[in-house]
Chain A
Amino acid sequence: MTDTIQRTRGRSVEVEVLAVLLVLLVIFRGRLAGIVSGAALQTWTTVFVSVLVQAVPFLVFGVLLSAVIAVFVPRSFWARALPNHPALAVPAASMAGVILPGCECGAVPIAGSLIRRGVTPAAALAFLLAAPAINPIVLTATAVAFPGNPEMVLARGLASLAVAIVMGWLWLRLGRSEWIRLPRRPDLDGASKGRAFWSACRHDVVHAGGFLVIGAAAAATINVVVPEAWLQTLAAQPVLSVLALAVLAVLLSICSEADAFVAASLSQFSLTSRLAFLVVGPMVDLKLISMQAGVFGRRFAVRFAPATFVLAVLAAVGAGAVLL
């Protein structure tokens, strides 16, 4: 009983604090807008808000789908849908990424949900990497952005698929299940389906959304502070340019549906280095690392992201050497 009372008090205080905070903000609105009047800070705010606004439909779509997976799709479905052997489930899950038309923000909660539902983590991670990179919308955008180089589409699709599959297999061989720490979901068990569905939606939006905010803030900072002139000097050097664009893809955290247009505009860079930008971006970037740390745990993210980065750069260079 005391517990209930304490909880009630804790709850009401939180909502009240929120209410007071909002009232204060509305009162000091003019001053707040005044602080954000410098050109650089204003650009930062615009980029921050736009990364979030752009990601919201994909996040919400991904969260709804992952809640459907968590609540309405029976565990037995995944056992039937994916090959029993984990080594075969990895490429199957990667190919399944083709049917998810969205960007990376939606894939993180879906992958978390798949693991929760008993899908082998290796297959879920392969799906996580493949889905944002090889779906039809992203490949079409790539074709539109590189009208003179249709081989870019093929190179991007194959390199991304290869990274997803190899990362899945690597996880089977080297990954440890204790690296993944999914937040516990006590309220999903035993509750009615409707309650469990909305509970999963609420939790995932608040959780993944919060980390998306961190990622968007980081991306906006990079967008404002990295002068473009630095990139110019790097473009001339073949090895450095690949690394530079791979790192830039991580820092900028552009949605995978848009990154092809940005890559196309970096035309002083070689096609291979721009391919590295397109392969790395949907798999490793600031907002993804932040979201993965939130959904799968920090110990997972510090291992998974660097390994994916190295593999993605290698795959892009390989595909570039053969196809471009």
Chain B
Amino acid sequence: MNRQAQAVVLFLFGGAILKASLTDLYLRYVKEGLRPFLIAAGAALVLAAIMTLWYDIRGARDGDGAHDGDGARDGDEGHDGDVVHDDHDDHGHAHHEPRVGWLLILPVLGLLLVAPPALGSYTADQSGTVQIGAESDYPPLPDGDPVTVGLLDYASRVIYDEGRSLEGRRLRLTGFVATGDDGVPMLARIVVSCCAADGRPIKVGLTGGPLVDVPAGTWLEVTGRYTGKRGKDPVNQADIAFVEVQQWQPVSPPKQQYE
């Protein structure tokens, strides 16, 4: 892989990172907090590509092969004494530099052409519900009727606080449909702590109310009430909280799909 090809690959890679982080695309893969670092890293990659091309063109204009990083100057061995340098990888000829670099095209394709969706019902079917930690105390829910509650918050209040802070409130939960035990639909959301690679589902069972007859993966807004009913996740036997559905309606996926 020669330097110009490397510069092009670097430029594309940095550009793909920049495009993903300047739009909302990056939210499908990582947490919001990474955005400034992604922008900085993408800009640095693009800059590295530009500087490479610049030095390359300037070197070519100088016309003395010495600046080309070619076999002419490999006096590096003498300094490092105890370390053997690998001749195989990028000896003399510029176009024998790391071939593995071509692989950087793959994430560029992944980001620019495929742009895979956020994790959803497939992951929810494959993995058990997230193990919720107990909070030290559960403050009352904010005002509002219905009041919007996250799935993690809801499940934690149900399992560790016996739903005390939920009694008598109309709740609004948002998530996508996942298939539970015996094909009964559940409401789920993927919890991500760092990037989608560690994403795990939080699942909440649905009981009562109108039958949820939309395919898995459809995003729903469910309005309902606390119920004492509990279940077990079929994958990892963890406790699952239920919500008593009053009504539900399909909605478009939120900007931030992870919780």
Contacts and interface: CB of A to CB of B under 8 A. Distances in A.
A42 B117 contact: yes
Interface string A13-43: 0110010011001100100110010011011
Nearest to A64: B44
Contact of B85 (A29, A118, A181): A181
B67 A191 contact: yes
Contacts of A36: 114, 116
B76 A189 contact: yes
Given A182-B83, A184-B76, A210-B103, A53 B38 contact: yes
A232 B236 contact: yes
A268 B122 contact: no
A210 B9 CA distance: 11
B117 A46 contact: yes
B6 A195 contact: no
B127 A228 contact: yes
B70 A46 contact: no
A54 B35 CA distance: 10
Contacts of A240: none
Contacts of A268: 236
Interface in B231-247: 235-237
A181 B111 CA distance: 33
B251 interface: no
A76 interface: no
A14 B9 CA distance: 11
Interface in A145-167: 145, 147-148
A100 interface: no
A207 B44 contact: no
B102 interface: yes
A255 B31 CA distance: 13
A254 B122 contact: no
Nearest to B85: A184
A187 B110 contact: no
B86 A187 contact: no
A168 interface: no
A258 interface: yes
B126 A227 contact: yes
B259 interface: no
Contacts of A42: 116-117, 122
Given A15-B8, A228-B235, A258-B195, A49 B103 contact: no
A46 B48 contact: no
Chain B: number of interface residues, binned into ranges:
35 or more
A278 B200 CA distance: 18
B3 interface: yes
Looking at B91, B99, B104, the one whose CB has the most chain A CB atoms below 10 A away is B104
Contact of B200 (A203, A210, A265): A265
Nearest to A195: B55
A101 B4 CA distance: 33
A183 B90 contact: yes
A257 interface: yes
Interface stretch (B128-136, B139-147, B154-162, B178-186): B128-136
Interface string B190-203: 00011111101000
Given A14-B4, A46-B119, A261-B193, A206 B101 contact: yes
Given A198-B55, A205-B45, A213-B107, A47 B196 contact: yes
A46 B198 CA distance: 11
Contacts of B38: 53, 56-57
Interface in A169-189: 177-178, 180-189
Interface of A: 3-4, 7, 10-11, 14-15, 18, 21-22, 25-26, 29, 32-33, 36, 39-40, 42-43, 45-54, 56-57, 59-61, 64, 75, 115-116, 118, 121, 145, 147-148, 177-178, 180-191, 194-195, 198-199, 201-203, 205-207, 209-211, 213-214, 216-217, 219-220, 223, 227-229, 232, 252, 254-255, 257-259, 261-262, 264-265, 267-268, 294, 297
Interface of B: 1-10, 12-13, 17, 20, 26, 28-30, 34, 37-38, 40-42, 44-45, 48-49, 51-52, 55, 65, 67-77, 79-80, 82-87, 89-95, 97-107, 109-111, 113-114, 116-119, 121-123, 126-128, 130-131, 133, 193-198, 200, 235-237
7 contacts: A7-B2, A14-B2, A46-B28, A50-B197, A53-B195, A64-B44, A177-B82
Shortest Cβ-Cβ A-B pairs, 5 listed: A258-B194, A187-B69, A210-B100, A261-B193, A50-B29
